[in-house]
Amino acid sequence: MVVYGNFNFINGTPLVRLARLNINGTLDNSLNINLSNQNAEAIFSVG
């Protein structure tokens, strides 16, 4: 599973846009990640 996230911080508040592409091709937007780095962009490979 690959999870792609784009993270932006405005006034110290994280605005998280993160979606998981499920095996059937649907997007799961229920994931949430806390980051300490501002304007971080990351790709997570899970499993």
Say what the pTM is. 0.19
Average pLDDT over residues 23-35: 56
Between 15 and 21, residue with greater pLDDT: 21
Q: Do 17 and 6 meet the contact criterion of CB atoms below 8 Å apart?
A: yes
Q: In sequence order, what are the residues at sequence separation of 6 or more whose Cβ sits closer than 8 angstroms to the Cβ of residue 36?
A: none
Strand stretches in the chain, DSSP E: 2-10, 13-21, 27-28, 41-45
Q: What is the mean pLDDT of the chain?
A: 56
Q: Do 33 and 13 meet the contact criterion of CB atoms below 8 Å apart?
A: no
**pLDDT tier for residue 36 given thresholds of 50, 70 and 90:** very low
Kindly list the domain boundaries of the chain, sorted by start residue: 2-45
